Structure 1
Amino acid sequence: MTARLGVILLVHTAFDRAEQVARHWARAGCPVVIHVDRAVSRARYGAFARALADEARIVFSRRYRCEWGTWGLVAAAQTAAETLLSRFPDVGHVYLASGACLPLRPVEELIDYLAERPETDFIESATTAEVPWTVGGLHEERFTLAFPFAWKRHRRLFDAYVEAQRRIGRRREMPHGLVPHMGSQWWCLTRRTLATILEDPNRADYDRFFRSVWIPDESYFQTLARRHARRIESRSLTLSKFDYQGRPHIFYDDHLSLLRRSDCFVARKIWPGAERLYEAFLTDRAGAMTRAEPNPGKIDRLFAQAVERRTRGRRGLYMQSRFPAEGRENGVTAAPYSMVHGFAELFEDFEDWLARMTGARVHGHLFAPERAEFAEGATVIEGALTDAAALRDANPKAFLTNLIWNTRGARQCFQFGPRDNQRINWIIAKDPNAQIAAVTGAWAVPLFRSGRPAAEIRAEAARLQSVEAAHLKVLRSPWTAARIRIWSMAEIVESPMEPLQTVLSDMGAPHAGRLAEAPQLVDLEGFGRFLQDLKNQGMHPYLTGDFPVEPAAPRAAPRPPRKPYVVR
């Protein structure tokens, strides 16, 4: 005669669904013991019990308060197991589930599967050193310290008590003969193993110790099964997935095909409103039957992708889960872009030339104080980004990241200088997608071409140089991740072709190494005298590089060599 499968259901909410699942187990011939959280009102508990009174295979056990992370969950499982073993002596395996668990395959398949493995206990059980999934920083300490306070209700007391124990060096000893193990609380144990755990002569000592362990439902049976079981399969027959914060994934109607693919016997946690799931798995025997070995690994890749999307997201796309935390974004921006500093001040029609040579979308000064100077004079571009300076400056980082995200597929380039909003400096400097070409001291060219006397613009020149020096310090920081090229203005004026070719090459321009067309350098006649006048006013424009006060006199043209002649 095949031993029966007994089921323990831990229920605290969604009683209509718990009733539906309990009847499903019972119809398959499984005795069911239900534990209802003592936090549930007597009236609600009474109505639930009366609804199931017509089913002889369903009984209720003594109630305990079941707070997350506390002993009540273990006590509930112990009492329910004692009730099940005493009331139904022909039970061979006991399956622990919750009211939110849903059988995915016909119960007969599970019964047959266990009948073929009569001495095998299915319980996830790993030593603390080998457990990668614990969240919250407590591994061995959950055993060596005491936890009398509920983490959810008394968070401050919990943290303060843990810290106090750490300071005094408290270290509780495990009961003799026990090695702490951890794993999923959803297990399926043989009658022999479960009875041996419950009847262990040292159970009082074990219970006393585990009452003060944090989250004992993940360690009590997992530890004692290692002491008493003949053969352990360290895995759960229940499909349960958790996110990176340790919270269980909830399955909805649109997970139907995913759950079928897992071939698992039971899944948790099912949303109570998932009508399609309950209808499919509790009534569609033919559609659910697979006779395959449970293989949750089939869907692990999808869950890994979900966690990756949840925690990292797509590059350069911000969402609520990562937006508040600096550094948690998966890349600052979504695509490579260029920032050109100082070239537009030195070369005539530089933006048009750069657009022709690279095919990039070349903007003016996007962070200028008056407005965002979009390419071709546009006032609104993709994503409804406007040129309004007030909106941009409310969050310059969001402006930049939105610009790059909205214009994916076309490289963006913009001008920058010391007059622009400098709040964006560190964001761009730390962005691996950024490519920066900077000419230092080019801010002096517009001042020079304004025709205003040096005495009048000395203060403005000093301010611009100070701002640019701070920006250069950022660009040269060891924290910088952008690709950066820096030249002084004097270097560019002396030999402009090589830097221009470098800029084109860094932007991926075709044939950048064979520069056939170059922009016209602005007229700088008298620029050296202008810089000297600034020096005479007490302002030293060191970022421009060295310019002679007077242009060098042209060298005399060499005389043509005389023709050789023969003397006769």
Structure 2
Amino acid sequence: MSLGIVMLVHDALDRAEQLVRHWATHDCPVVVHVDAYVTQDDFANFTAALDDLDNVRFCKRRHCEWGTWSLVAASQTASEAMLETFPDVQHVLLASGSCLPLRPISEMRAYLSNRSQTDFIESATTEDVPWTIGGLDIERFTLRFPFSWKRQRRLFDYYVSIQRKLDLKRTIPFGLIPHLGSQWWCLTRATLSAILNDPQRPRFDQYFRRVWIPDESYYQTLARRHSSRIESRSLTLSKFDFQGKPHVFYDDHLQLLRRSDCFVARKAWRYADKLYDSFLSDQPTVVTGAEPNPGKIDRIFTKAIERRTKGRPGLYMPSRFPRDGHEGNITAARYTVLEGFSELFDGFEDWLADVVSARVHGHLFAEDKAHFAGGAPEFFGALTDSAKLRDYNPKAFLTNLIWNTRGERQCFQYGPSDNQDLSWVMAKDTNARIYVVSGAWAVPLFHSNRNFSDIRREAARLQKLESEHLTVLRSGHARARTQIWSLADFVLNPTEPLQTVLDDIGLRQPGALPKLPKMKPLQGFGQFLQDLKNQGMHPYLMGDFPAGHDLVPTARIQRKPYLVK
């Protein structure tokens, strides 16, 4: 016996019964917390239906409400019962009554047995998570939240605003560094016992009672205090939309969930008979041994969210009618901005200059100086490479350069290390053609020999800058033609993005297919990102790089033929 399940149930008791039975009959003891809002008759029927299983227990019930301490208290009660009743359990998984196992339980137990000292819990500092909204990131821990966000929204907002105006702040208990992450964790017995038996637990519990959404921060913070090894990821696939609401999986997601290689998915629709029949079946299943890889479906969800929030070109819906823009063209001619390419390829600027009909510059807005093509100290328009002069008015620098080179396409590199004052200027410019490989700035850090703590700090800084820049590019006010690839998507198929760039700029010899530049080695890059996660930094702009193996490019897209008359 190596895996125990702590399950929080509040509705769909028929499906919860199926799930409890599935876990229990595959040698996983289960401790169930049933919400006190469930009627006594329904609770009695539920417990009676599972009475034949000797490795299922029910703990003390309490009323639970989203975003409040009650959810943490329920998991504490159930976890204490699990540790006390089942001494052979070495890992404890927190699940809900709608968390559906996607792979054989025996495979999950074997996976955890091979990682007996590892805690699987998403745990990142407040500065590094992308999902906090409404300004409540570190304020989750420094303000008080005695009112329910769902039931008492006006009181909630009013009390938050009063605390901000009066500058009332709570003191974070000494020894705690706030971390956030998914509430669905899988902890070792040692770590969970240490959290529940911490001598300072009464003080910590009292503090977290007034933290907003403590189920996303309590275990995530205390695990950093007690764990010897953390894999900052959840074994449960849990997807959220742009409003922070969880995605629900239906029958038509069956093949999608199978491709994820994840162990558990939340949350499955209670009437998705095909999902439950397929994944809870006792028929022989092929054991893949694959590392959980939610990135396989992340791209699909990302595209779905983008389609939902942005719609399609030319389709105007009342829910997202575009705001009028009154600004004309900022510059005089088209130009190309490349972000992340020179960081990913060796000699990229020289290669590009040889194959396209354009003037290819380096980082024109670099911190040290303007890197003009060929290393020239001056350029058309009486422009010099002085960073001080350029940064006096970076917009004028750009417009001057484009005006004085009309008739010749200009192309330059850009990134989070460059002057960010130009982000909105380029985003609003209809002449700008911007191509971004998000997260590519991590490649030079990966190849550097710097101290890892310095790398982690620099990575967090650059990621924050690039995230803000991408937000600008995706803004409804942006007018530039922009294409963004995550680093993982680009590495899997570099030919198609490069083809897009070359077609837009124009080749010197249209009939010839240039040899692609040499990509910098990325062996071990996935583990490098995982190490950043394990140190509390959440690298989310790169896409999904599995820690266990390197990404291998897929079949290359053939270049479309050119007809020469």
TM range (shorter): 0.5 to 0.7
Which residue among 160, 163, 176 is the counterpart of 1:165?
163
Q: Does 1:43 align with 2:41?
A: yes
What is the CA–CA distance in structure 2 between the aligned matches of 1:205 and 1:480, rounded to whole Å?
49
Q: Tell me the CA shift for residue 316 of structure 1.
A: 1.8
Which of the residues 308, 322, 328 maps onto 1:327? 322
Contact 1:71 1:217 in 2 (8 A): yes
AA of the residue aligned to 2:319: P
- Offset at residue 65 of structure 1 (A): 1.4
- The separation in 1 between residues aligned to 2:20 and 2:133, in whole angstroms, is 32
What SS class does the counterpart of residue 206 from structure 1 fall into?
helix
Report the secondary structure of 2:160's partner residue: helix
Q: Which residue of 1 aligns with 2:15?
A: 17
4+ residue runs of structure 1 moved beyond 3 angstroms?
284-289, 430-433, 479-482
| CA–CA separation in structure 1 for the residues paired with 2:282 and 2:78 | 30
Write the distance in 2 (CA, Å) between the matches of 1:481 and 1:130. 29
Shift of 1:328: 6.9
Higher RCO structure (Cα 8 Å, ≥6 apart): 2
* 2:139 counterpart residue number: 141
1:481: Cα distance to partner? 7.9
**Closer, same or farther in 2 for the Cα pair 1:480/1:233, shift >3 Å?**
closer
SS of 1:324 mapped into structure 2: helix
Aligned-residue sequence identity (percent) comes to 63
1:127 aligns with 2:125: yes
Look up the equivalent residue of 1:306 and give its one-letter code. A
CA distance in 1, matches of 2:178, 2:271: 38
Give the aligned residue type for 1:327. P
Alpha-carbon contact 2:310-2:320 (below 8 Å) kept: no
Tell whether 2:314 aligns with 1:316. yes
Cα pair distance change 1:481/1:53, threshold 3 Å: closer
Q: Distance in 2 between matches of 1:62 and 1:141?
A: 32
Distance 2:273 2:294 in 1: 23
Q: Which residue of 1 aligns with 2:346?
A: none
Question: Are positions 1:217 and 2:215 aligned together?
Answer: yes
Q: Determine helix, strand or coil for the equivalent of 1:35.
A: strand
**Corresponding residue number in structure 1 for 2:301:** 303
Residue number in structure 1 paired with 2:273: 275
Q: Deviations over 1:427-474 (max 9, x none)?
A: xxx9989xxxxxxxxxxxxxxxxxxxxxxxxxxxxxxxxxxxxxxxxx
1:49 offset after TM fit, Å? 1.3
Aligned residue identity for 1:238: T
Q: Aligned partners of 1:223 and 1:100: how far apart in 2?
A: 25
| Structure 1 residue 327 displacement after superposition | 2.7
- Which residue in 2 is equivalent to 1:181? 179
1:397-443 Cα deviation digits (max 9, x unpaired)? xxxxxxxxxxxxxxxxxxxxxxxxxxxxxxxxx9989xxxxxxxxxx
Distance 2:132 2:321 in 1: 25
One-letter amino acid matched to 1:113: Y
- Aligned residue number for residue 99 of structure 2: 101
Look up the equivalent residue of 2:161 and give its one-letter code: E
- 2: distance between equivalents of 1:258 and 1:37? 31
Q: How many angstroms does 1:40 deviate by?
A: 1.4
Alpha carbons of 1:328 and 1:82: their partners in 2 closer, same or farther (altered >3 Å)?
farther
The 3-state SS of whatever aligns with 1:94 is strand
* AA matched with 1:232: I
CA distance in 2, matches of 1:194, 1:328: 51
Supply the distance in 2 between the matched residues of 1:16 and 1:290 (Cα, whole angstroms). 30
Query: C-alpha displacement at 1:287, in angstroms?
Result: 4.0
Tell me the SS of whatever aligns to 1:59: strand
- Distance in 2, matches of 1:183 and 1:75, equals 18
Aligned twin of 1:245: 243
Return closer, same or farther for 1:328/1:245 CA change in 2, 3 Å cut-off. farther
The answer to whether the 8 A contact 1:318-1:329 is kept is no
Letter in 1 for 2:257: L
Structure 2 counterpart SS, 1:91: coil
* Local SS of the residue matching 1:84: helix
Q: 1:249 to 1:308 in 2, by over 3 A?
A: same
| Partner in structure 1 of residue 563 of structure 2 | none
Q: Report the alpha carbon displacement of residue 325 of structure 1 after superposing the two structures with TM.
A: 4.5
CA deviation string 1:171-193 (max 9, x = no partner): 11111100000000000000000
Give the Cα separation in 1 of the matches to 2:89 and 2:479: 64
- TM-score norm. by structure 1 comes to 0.57
Q: C-alpha separation between the residues in 2 aligned to 1:151 and 1:52?
A: 35
Task: Tell me the residue number matched to 1:423.
Answer: none
- For structure 1, which runs of at least 5 residues remain unmatched after alignment? 331-429, 434-478, 483-568
Cα distance change, pair 116–481 in 1 and its aligned pair in 2 (3 A): closer
Task: Give 3-state SS (helix, strand or coil) of 1:311's partner.
Answer: helix
Gaps of 5+ in 2: 326-427, 432-476, 481-565
The CA RMSD over aligned residues, in Å, is 2.2
The TM-score with structure 2 as length reference comes to 0.57
Aligned to 1:292: 290
* Contact 2:119 2:188 survives alignment (8 Å): yes
- Whether contact under 8 Å (1:70, 1:211) holds in the other structure is yes
Cα distance in 2 for partners of 1:193, 1:130 equals 24
Letter in 2 for 1:20: Q
Aligned twin of 2:89? 91
Cα distance between partner residues in 2 of 1:138 and 1:232: 25
Corresponding residue number in structure 2 for 1:472: none
CA contact (8 A) 1:238 1:265 kept: yes
Query: How far has the Cα of 1:37 moved from its partner?
Result: 1.0
- How far apart, in 1, do the equivalents of 2:97 and 2:313 lie? 39
Q: Which residue type is aligned with residue 254 of structure 1?
A: D
Deviation at 1:318, TM superposition (A): 3.3
How do 1:490-505 residues align onto structure 2 when only pairs under 5 Å count?
A: none
> Are 2:234 and 1:236 aligned?
yes
Q: What is the CA–CA distance in structure 2 between the aligned matches of 1:249 and 1:329, rounded to whole Å?
A: 32
Give the CA deviation at 1:50: 1.3
2:258 to 260, 282, 299: 260
